[in-house]
Structure 1
């Protein structure tokens, strides 16, 4: 058997379809979700997951320059994914708003914020008969679904858009014949897309495990400084399996209460945000069944040690916990730490601690790493002193962390 036949086939990352200008030069690409195994679309279709998969595979995997050829990339966004902070270069990404997203004040404000950050906005699959759609004043591009209109109707809508919203560029999509293209060019469309010009091309590579990225985002949310009870509850509720397991764990653990806990909000309020977030973090990482249990124990031990080193400084403690935990990301995800950190909503002080071991959080992380290795003399004593931590504090924190880890593992196994 040849060596090539033994190499596993690369996963499908997405499909890429060119977008042309009036001179039929490629000026952009639209990235389209495709199942990683190359099979049929999953049913029911999860638009949020599809958008997240495309974004992660395009912007955090491989060579973006190869994917984009230096041109902007159109990506479909759902209402939920639009509400997230987009950690991508506005010059590279065109935010394509799905036509079925309801328009309201919240959506209006979100689109205004995206425009202020420099993102180009496109309205997808437009089929209205007039130019009164509330999205139009906020977008830069409207994609007209050409097959929906007769020739006269198409010319009328193009004219109405030109008159009412002269700032908008008009993209004619779903062009399947030369006559379709000729008509759209004749009425003055700016951009063109469809099977007649080019079919979507499947792009292959090493796909991102989106469920694991979701786990990271959940942990990042749980461990934000000053996170509210409601935020923690909402984050856990996004993963029903995690929510059920957490409630079961809390109801079997030896916590003082008068009655069984029946809701996540009740659990967080009664047990306390710090303990709940620690337990949820432990359970979330436990879902990664292909990783050895010892790896989870090491990550959790370092995280607890970092938090205990911070002492009574609550905000610093929670930042230190997430830094300690995420310092093991490369081992969990088999990807570069810088790449993973870039895809998460982390506080800059945590990012700097993880990548460069600088700042108070970085000092605590460096201290934990030195303690684990038995390098007492290499601990950054001067920076520790600047944040009010003495040698006796380090020893006490280490003892408390060992006890905390033992308690968490006992509860998780009950």
Structure 2
């Protein structure tokens, strides 16, 4: 998710929030992202009806922030466009190299809209159509689009219905994107049906392999993460961990000598690095570095970023809402960090908790059996772009929208810096 500022006619500045959902290729490699945005802090949906200049500012700034730190091969973003903005040519404010214009399912194929798509296509833009389910009234779009998104969930994951839609699309050269792919099973089926791209939550659900156990390397890293979460953690122990791992030491030096610290002289000893960062900061950095090593696959890389961002967000939320009075904010950082381990490792969360005993608060928050779990649910709503659900959860926590947005931006920026190292 990204945060930016949009200019409005009154010259005031207003918060705008954008969610980033990954899209994968057949090989489960990240291909790009869809940006889901709302036009104001009060908006409950991605409704874009602001004046032209404000919307251009939102989209342009959102794209640059969403692409920050991404490698070129997956720096594509899909951006939803209603009919009014298509006709007005707002999309020309975006770079055609990596911005895909996505036609919302509510847009009607009028002559004005189709002519606008023709101009975009001639200018080198890639065009996608959202939520196609075989509707006859949407067929005029099929001649103009490069990517067709089919909502599998809306079709009930019914093979007969999906196959019927696929048959309709056979004459067209567009790539087919399976939307709302919720499970590994649906992902495999959609691959067999001929889809090229996939969007949904399958990447954050574990593929359960019967009898699978954590290997010794994974278990050692998890135990180290647990040790780093203790309140009585000793800085000397940190140095010992670093001394035994040249890779971690190198990454720490690169991290602390980066421009972000603005140090007068270069840090080249572990003792000084630990001293400068401080016990808590270096423990969090180590946890982040270790998480990124557990599963180095491209798909897991998305989960690592999400879990680190979520960890920092939960820590900041705990401080803001008073949950930190029950436990140290670091406890909530660990909750977020561990919350996607089942997906990363392909092991049930219940089995992870048995293998790696955690304190009661962490365990019950991960399992959903205590009130602290509401922080995890709020993070989930932010990540998915469920704005209506987000607002309800914020009200339940008596938390101001703008404050929460700022906390999420801080968490995202922290995660980007930590993982860049």
TM-score (norm 1): 0.43
Which one has more relative contact order, counting CA pairs under 8 Å at least 6 apart? 2
TM-score (norm 2): 0.43
